[in-house]
Amino acid sequence: MPALVRIGRTLRRTLLQAVPTMLGIVILNFFLLQLAPGDAADVMAGEAGSATVETMAALRSRFGLDNPLLTQLGHYLSNLMQLSLGFSPRYGMPVADLIAQRLPGTLTLMVVALMVAILIGVVLGSLMATFAGRLPDRVLSVFSLLFYSIPSFWIGLMLIVFFSVKLGWLPSGGAGTIGSRLTGLPALLDKARYMVLPATSLALFYVAIYARLTRASMLEVKNQDFVRTAYAKGLTPFGVTARHILRNALIPITTMAGMHIGGMLGGAVVVETVYSWPGLGRLAFEAVMGRDFTVLLGILLLSSLLVIVANAAVDLVHAWLDPRIGAR
């Protein structure tokens, strides 16, 4: 199974590269946490109402906050090893649990948006490449550049105005009808209705990116000799595009798709605040407003990890698509 060998090798290499990066990010995270105004003791004192200097000092020594920096870093690392990201007094629960609670919402939103963006982007890009230089290409190019320039939070609000306020077709926020007792397919449809607008807002920018990428990539592949060979075999234009051009063109597109995972996470933060979508982004926003830096930095750390995992996944897809990778 040469494809499996290829994928296995790629996986090993990717993981080896990811370890030092992750460590660096953890340390960066630790120092940012140190820089944050106020420590856990301050927060707790704040929650409690008032505290004397003595109780503050006691709290600090109990949490090890008066130890030297390196010792604290050691603590931080060993906590992380046990998957502990700290405790959020504001929510009264461990940050890790808090994030685990919100993560599925964000992931669903991201995956849906990414799928939509890739699907529409690849179709539009193929169209643009087919009509390169002609009217459809020009019109679509202008649109893609426009999508590329629209802030997602703004288009999100505009979609709400149009589809929720004026037309009343779709809900303007939330992730499902509150108090509904739907199950099975109706429940899924209900969720989908809430998903449409946020996913569209998030996807629009990436539709533009993938469309332009696909166009460029297909034009590049189209001029390669093997495409002429395919025509010489008697394949239909559709057959040539589907079987020969697209697969080769997809190779750079997957690379790019992986690189946008991080961007999409960032995008989700803003889109979730627009639509009150219960995800990490919304949590980050609440953490900023509540100045809850433990939560905020936990999110930063986890989203970095997510990016690394996504990149590894893309490398694997890449290895599967391109037999030349890791050959011999």
Interface with another protein in residues 154-213 (CB under 8 A): 154, 157-158, 160-161, 165, 201-202, 205, 209, 212-213
109 near another protein (CB under 8 A): no
C-beta of 21 vs 71, nearer to another protein: 21
Please state the closest distance from residue 106 (CB atom) to another protein, in A. 11
309 near another protein (CB under 8 A): no
Q: Which residue has the tokens 């030297």?
A: 68
Give the tokens for residue 11. 């996986």
C-beta of 65 vs 187, nearer to another protein: 65
252 near another protein (CB under 8 A): yes
Query: Using the rule CB under 8 A, which residue among 8, 11, 13, 176 binds another protein?
Result: 13
C-beta of 161 vs 188, nearer to another protein: 161
- Residue 46, classified by CB atoms within 10 Å of its CB into exposed (0-12), middle (13-18) or buried (19+), is middle
Q: How many residues bind another protein (CB under 8 A)?
A: 97
Query: Using the rule CB under 8 A, which residue among 177, 255, 286, 313 binds another protein?
Result: 255
C-beta of 177 vs 255, nearer to another protein: 255
282 near another protein (CB under 8 A): no
- Residues numbered 120 to 149 that lie near another protein (CB under 8 A) are 132-133, 145-146, 148-149
**CA geometry: angle at 177 spanning 176 and 183, to 5°?**
80
Please state the closest distance from residue 176 (CB atom) to another protein, in A. 21
Give the tokens for residue 260. 């946008």
C-beta of 81 vs 165, nearer to another protein: 165
Q: Which residues contact 292 (CB under 8 A, 6 or more apart)?
A: 43, 88, 90, 91, 286
> What string marks each residue from 22 to 51 as x (binds another protein by CB under 8 A) or -?
--xx--x---x--xxx--------------
Strands 87-88 and 93-94, how do they pair?
A: antiparallel
C-beta of 145 vs 189, nearer to another protein: 145
